[in-house]
A and B are shown apart, each in its own frame.
Chain A
């Protein structure tokens, strides 16, 4: 357990931004399709259920970390020993790299489809990753700053949800409980996929000035994310018909198309551009966590490790050429992420509870 000097720590209050910034990403631009396919107009219920699941997982993570008072690599080392523990940590690092590639490529995908069909993926990835390096290089405090920007600056887009209301048909929400409870429960999986990324908490937990106090804010952050998802979902169900939603890959962006202002049209162009503010903290947090984990596992300096990881991500992003490949990698990451938050973390929670109880008994 290394102690972190006070000047590098952030206030517990910022866990609100850190959690919310990474939960909202490319997913929200088009999560409606999968959900509608599974449960139709009952999708809002699975969002609520999924949200509750996410909160339970956050609670579990805090239970695990509070006992250890360190980050996840410490937890792994104590619970599983040096070798197996490091193995688990490395898997986590790989997962975060995959997550970065997924986020980056999905965003480029949106840009390609909506704005620049001929954009040079390699060059664009390199420029974005240089900025990511520059920000992560400033440490978690800078990354947190970007997270705050990523929440505050694009918040104006929430107002655009008023425009579709003019054409909304809220009867679309009826009849509720049209689908079986099992279907709804199953589709919560798809919800959790959209809000992936908050596992980074496992790494930045020791960077809070009073880590335990940050839990309240983390829950609030997550709750606000779920609320935003719920809002977008309800408006989408009311605005589109079920058939339209199933056929629309980026329903949220399509809704934006009807916004009309006297000085600017096609507001979705502005939205996609400013969505970069949302994407950047995601990338930065994931890369920061990956490089921080690598630093803890290999006991090397973080900066060169970060360079290596960013080069890997860059290579990964350039290798993926077609939309099918992007979809494949994003499904793959989502699967891992799902099993990570709903399989591995509950397991870790049980294991650490038992471990610490046994240890307590032994010492007594």
Chain B
């Protein structure tokens, strides 16, 4: 991995002295620099006004400076930790832009100290929006790494919760922290993650999404291989299962890995509801994902090739609705599918209030108009609208996008070979999912490789008393969450 300073040196002459470093920093207009002579010894104070908290300077630094005559005294007097002695010009160029204040006495020839005084402006912790749930905690991550770690630490106040931090990105210098519980998480997983994070060579990390895409096992796959969440409670419970979490500074999302297909289609709410309700909702969700992928391709396949499949009564309805339509089913379906995608994209790009209008205009006006104009059949309109609705039930946003995307190859295969085409495309998808891994662990587990113990929390979520073991998928060091009590003796009636 190349360091940024090497790259810079190719263009600019190397900065060798502290004075030169100082001069180069002064080129920015938000760089403040002034000399004070009212103290015991005259000193110079400098900082970037845009990133420094002025309160800190006024409250802690300036009052103390008046009585101080040398650097050692200054370090002991000022009540701030992490005061750094400047030894090389690199200290200046690295620390000043990230919110340090530089102070030196005029007689010391630029040898001074750096005092941290970053501005810390954050939005306050707000309820989750993407993964909202009616019950359960109403806290979501914010754009500060420390706050995010705090949100997790307060849920797992134990000594074995490890938080390790590295800096990634030559330009962005993003702090990336990975968390795990030492005596639960698998060491191999931790090492894999550590290695992947250390190998990242990217100049500016914008968000967790960057990290999740860069460290994905298979970057050519449309499926998100690391789970993205904004709920600290979900991260904390995942850590307790032996998974690992990644937090990125300035990003309100956390990553959880290794993840599975099953985890991508479950929500945290599944654990907050009674297990019957939770399992029922999960089944509905899985069915709706299958529905949203397959229904339009099946329509295209049957109406292009297999009229025979449709029972007589249903066929009459279908034919009446399609009688006047000049387009083949594939074009009809593509037209409607793309309209829905258009509406979605337009709604997402526009401000909320205008977006609602677009929804109404698009949904009602275009929909009805295209049926009346004879461009599409109303049966298909219902199906496509239902499929769109179903695709919005996918709990993770990234996964939902994938689901919307993969129905298009299905459509084309359905047009080419009817039902066989759909099965062909499905086999391709299955072959892909079977090969997919997340941090080196199989993505389709526990379905394949079949692990019966992990099946307890898949399509059906069994009650907590049955979930006594951590998922084998994570290879936890401690396999049991709790020791299940011996089977209670079944009491007879009236005993």
- Residues of A at under 8 Å CB distance from B? 10-11, 13, 111, 115-116, 119, 124, 127-128, 131, 134-135, 138, 141-142, 144-146, 148-149, 262-266, 269-270, 272-274, 276-277, 280
- Residues of chain B with a CB closer than 8 A to A141's CB: 434, 449
A144 to B431, CA, bound (A): 10
Task: Encode contact with A along B406-420: 1 for CB under 8 Å, 0 otherwise.
Answer: 000000000001111
- Residues of chain B with a CB closer than 8 A to A11's CB: 449
- Tell yes or no: B450 within 8 A of A by CB: yes
A265 to B308, CA, bound (A): 7
- Residues of chain B with a CB closer than 8 A to A149's CB: 430, 448
Q: Are A142 and B419 in touch, CB under 8 angstroms? A: no
Q: Are B434 and A146 in touch, CB under 8 angstroms? A: yes
- Tell yes or no: B289 within 8 A of A by CB: no
Q: How far is the CB of B335 from chain A (nearest CB, A)?
A: 26
Q: Which of B308, B419, B444 contacts A145 (CB 8 A)?
A: B444
A266 to B435, CA, bound (A): 35
A359 to B86, CA, bound (A): 79
Q: How far is the CB of A97 from chain B (nearest CB, A)?
A: 21
Q: Are B309 and A270 in touch, CB under 8 angstroms? A: yes
11 A–B contacts, CB within 8 A, in A order: A116-B420, A131-B428, A131-B431, A145-B444, A145-B449, A149-B448, A265-B308, A266-B306, A274-B423, A276-B420, A276-B424
Q: Return the chain B residue nearest A130 by Cβ.
A: B428
Given contacts A11-B449, A131-B428, A262-B311, list 13 more A-B pairs with CB under 8 A.
A127-B424, A128-B424, A131-B431, A135-B427, A138-B434, A146-B431, A148-B448, A264-B309, A269-B419, A272-B420, A273-B422, A274-B423, A276-B420
Q: Return the chain A residue nearest B431 by Cβ.
A: A135
- Tell yes or no: B310 within 8 A of A by CB: yes
Using A145-B434, A269-B308, A270-B309 as known contacts, say yes or no to A263 and B427 having CB atoms under 8 A apart.
no
- Tell yes or no: B276 within 8 A of A by CB: no
- Residues of chain B with a CB closer than 8 A to A263's CB: 311, 314
Q: Are A266 and B434 in touch, CB under 8 angstroms? A: no
Q: Are A266 and B417 in touch, CB under 8 angstroms? A: no
Q: Are B431 and A115 in touch, CB under 8 angstroms? A: no
- Residues of chain B with a CB closer than 8 A to A116's CB: 305, 417-418, 420
A362 to B310, CA, bound (A): 73
Q: Which of A115, A135, A144, A262 contacts B418 (CB 8 A)?
A: A115
- Residues of chain A with a CB closer than 8 A to B428's CB: 131, 134
A270 to B419, CA, bound (A): 7
Q: Return the chain B residue nearest A275 by Cβ.
A: B423
A148 to B430, CA, bound (A): 11
Interface of A: prevailing SS: helix
Q: Are B308 and A273 in touch, CB under 8 angstroms? A: no
Q: Return the chain B residue nearest A107 by Cβ.
A: B420
Q: Return the chain B residue nearest A133 by Cβ.
A: B431
A92 to B425, CA, bound (A): 31
- Residues of chain A with a CB closer than 8 A to B444's CB: 145
Q: How far is the CB of A227 from chain B (nearest CB, A)?
A: 21
Q: Are A280 and B310 in touch, CB under 8 angstroms? A: no
Using A131-B424, A142-B434, A274-B423 as known contacts, say yes or no to A119 and B417 having CB atoms under 8 A apart.
yes
Q: How far is the CB of B103 from chain A (nearest CB, A)?
A: 57
Using A145-B434, A277-B427 as known contacts, say yes or no to A266 and B420 having CB atoms under 8 A apart.
no
Q: Which of A142, A145, A262, A266 contacts B309 (CB 8 A)?
A: A266
Q: Are B419 and A273 in touch, CB under 8 angstroms? A: yes
Using A276-B424, A277-B427 as known contacts, say yes or no to A265 and B311 having CB atoms under 8 A apart.
yes
A128 to B428, CA, bound (A): 9
Q: How far is the CB of B33 from chain A (nearest CB, A)?
A: 59
Q: How far is the CB of B443 from chain A (nearest CB, A)?
A: 11
Q: Are A134 and B423 in touch, CB under 8 angstroms? A: no
**Which of B419, B432, B448, B449 has the most C-beta atoms of chain A within 10 angstroms of its own C-beta?**
B448
Q: How far is the CB of A12 from chain B (nearest CB, A)?
A: 12
- Residues of chain B with a CB closer than 8 A to A135's CB: 427, 431, 434
- Residues of chain B with a CB closer than 8 A to A131's CB: 424, 427-428, 431
Q: Which of B308, B314, B423 contacts A276 (CB 8 A)?
A: B423
A134 to B431, CA, bound (A): 7
A124 to B428, CA, bound (A): 14
Q: How far is the CB of A59 from chain B (nearest CB, A)?
A: 26
A269 to B419, CA, bound (A): 8
A276 to B420, CA, bound (A): 8
A276 to B418, CA, bound (A): 13
Q: Which of B418, B427, B450 contacts A280 (CB 8 A)?
A: B427
A274 to B420, CA, bound (A): 7
**Which of B308, B309, B431 has the most C-beta atoms of chain A within 10 angstroms of its own C-beta?**
B431
A134 to B424, CA, bound (A): 12
Q: Return the chain B residue nearest A267 by Cβ.
A: B309
- Residues of chain B with a CB closer than 8 A to A111's CB: 420
Q: How far is the CB of B148 from chain A (nearest CB, A)?
A: 34
Q: Are A142 and B431 in touch, CB under 8 angstroms? A: yes
- Residues of chain B with a CB closer than 8 A to A127's CB: 424
Task: Encode contact with A along B96-116: 1 for CB under 8 Å, 0 otherwise.
Answer: 000000000000000000000
Q: Are B417 and A148 in touch, CB under 8 angstroms? A: no
- Residues of chain A with a CB closer than 8 A to B423's CB: 273-274, 276-277
Q: Are B431 and A276 in touch, CB under 8 angstroms? A: no
A13 to B452, CA, bound (A): 12
A120 to B281, CA, bound (A): 44
Q: How far is the CB of B286 from chain A (nearest CB, A)?
A: 15
Q: How far is the CB of B436 from chain A (nearest CB, A)?
A: 9
A266 to B308, CA, bound (A): 7
Q: How far is the CB of A106 from chain B (nearest CB, A)?
A: 15
Q: How far is the CB of A128 from chain B (nearest CB, A)?
A: 7
- Residues of chain B with a CB closer than 8 A to A128's CB: 424
A316 to B409, CA, bound (A): 28
**Which of A144, A270, A273 has the most C-beta atoms of chain B within 10 angstroms of its own C-beta?**
A273
- Residues of chain A with a CB closer than 8 A to B435's CB: 138, 142
Task: Encode contact with A along B305-331: 1 for CB under 8 Å, 0 otherwise.
Answer: 110111100100000000000000000
- Residues of chain A with a CB closer than 8 A to B422's CB: 273
Using A10-B449, A266-B306 as known contacts, say yes or no to A146 and B419 having CB atoms under 8 A apart.
no
Q: Are A269 and B434 in touch, CB under 8 angstroms? A: no
A264 to B419, CA, bound (A): 13
Task: Encode contact with A along B283-313: 1 for CB under 8 Å, 0 otherwise.
Answer: 0000000000000000000000110111100
Q: Are A115 and B450 in touch, CB under 8 angstroms? A: no
A141 to B431, CA, bound (A): 11
- Residues of chain B with a CB closer than 8 A to A145's CB: 430, 434, 444, 448-449
Q: How far is the CB of A146 from chain B (nearest CB, A)?
A: 7
A203 to B164, CA, bound (A): 46
Q: Return the chain B residue nearest A271 by Cβ.
A: B419
Using A111-B420, A264-B311 as known contacts, say yes or no to A276 and B427 having CB atoms under 8 A apart.
yes
A128 to B435, CA, bound (A): 18
- Residues of chain B with a CB closer than 8 A to A144's CB: 448
A270 to B418, CA, bound (A): 10
